[in-house]
Amino acid sequence: MELDFACRYPFTEEGKQAIIENNIQVNDEIAERAVQRVLNAMNWRDKEGRGIYDPTYAHLSDKLTEIGSYGAARMMLSHLRNRYLTNSFAVGEAKRAYAFLKGLEEGHPDIKRLQEEFGVVPEKREGKDTLPLATYVKFAPRSVDYRLVNRNVKGGRVEIRKKGAGVSKREDLRLLQEAIKIRVGHLGTIKNAPEIIRKHSERLMKSMPKVAPSKMSFEKGDNPPCIEKLLEAARLHQNLGHQGRWSLAVYLINKGVPYEKILGIFSNFPDYDERIASYQIKHAINRNYTMPACSMMLSYGLCVANCKVKSPLGWDEWKKRKRS
Ligand code: SF4
């Protein structure tokens, strides 16, 4: 049992075993750390290194607290059944793992172990790293860069590109990050949570950032299908790729939706950061960006119907004409 590995990646089998073998029980210290863990995940800042815990020189009891805090956080989230919190936690924990991993050289044992556990081990074909198509599709981030039309697909395998030459991230690790996010976000149910979990869950809810996700006030059917889908992602507190957010913001701005309301909609995304979202929305307003045409939405993978319009902004008119 390697505790340092379990500390860094508590969502693994190794993490689970560490809890069992060391008989880690939730106490106030672990629960307190779990509350902090969830709050950190919601405010993840990779650049500042906040939330990265290096167990290398930590005392044994600290390592056990760290591992236990992950389990306790999951128990709290299962008890609270709050989709926004759960998704935020999953996104934050996955980003935290990515932050560890991106500092490691290619082929590092940590990377290999995780790739094997999550079933995302790239294999060389004609000198290129590749993944089976089904695995790739399952874990590809929602971004235009990862769409299959922009990929080399051969013999049922998809090429994974290296960082550099227009690729900003290590794609093997980015796919692993998605796999981790999915696992962390998958919670069991917990009936009759222990008193200590209920007590600290309550504290967690009281410590939530002031900007709580705002209620969505759009009626279903007010907008074209592509925009409905993006709004639905916000309603369900699911993450959206850059193009999705951008298109949604530009659409809402062009429809005259006030800045505060757009910010409120964006606050529903699990990795919401008020400073960044505010900057992006204001930037789009000031630059007066036009709505991407349907053909562009199609290339982003965001078009979900054939509405016979050129732009999502033309949908209202088209719908009225269709009714009359
Ligand atoms: S055709 Fe245009 S309006 Fe309709 S779903 Fe596609 S992008 Fe949206």
- Domain residue ranges of the chain, discontinuous segments joined by +: 3-104+181-206, 109-178, 225-323
Sole residue written with tokens 């990646």? 9
3-state secondary structure at position 217: coil
Q: What parts of the chain have a pLDDT lower than 50?
A: 46-49
Q: How far apart are CA 81 and CA 86, in angstroms?
A: 8
Q: What is the CA radius of gyration of the chain?
A: 22
Quick one: pLDDT at residue 322? 72
Q: Is 292 in the pocket of ligand 1 (CB under 6 A)?
A: no
8, HSE (Cβ side, Cα atoms, 13 Å): 17
Atom of ligand 1 nearest to the CA of 302: 7
Q: Please name the residue whose Cα sits nearest to atom 2 of ligand 1.
A: 294
Q: Is 304 in the pocket of ligand 1 (CB under 6 A)?
A: yes
Quick one: pLDDT at residue 48? 46
Q: How close is the Cα of 276 to the center of ligand 1, in Å?
A: 27
pLDDT digits over 41-84, tens only? Answer: 877 554 444 555 677 777 899 999 999 999 999 999 999 988 88
Q: Is 225 in the pocket of ligand 1 (CB under 6 A)?
A: yes
Burial class (CB in 10 A: 0-12, 13-18, 19+), 123: exposed
**pTM, two decimal places:** 0.74
Q: How far apart are CA 277 and CA 235, in angstroms?
A: 17
Other beta carbons less than 10 A from residue 306's beta carbon: 9
Q: Which of 255, 252, 299 is nearest to 280 (CA)?
A: 252
Atom of ligand 1 nearest to the CA of 224: 3
Q: How close is the Cα of 321 to the center of ligand 1, in Å?
A: 16
Q: How far apart are CA 105 and CA 49, in angstroms?
A: 19
Q: Which residue(s) pair with 168 in the sheet?
A: none
Quick one: pLDDT at residue 46? 46
3-state secondary structure at position 168: coil
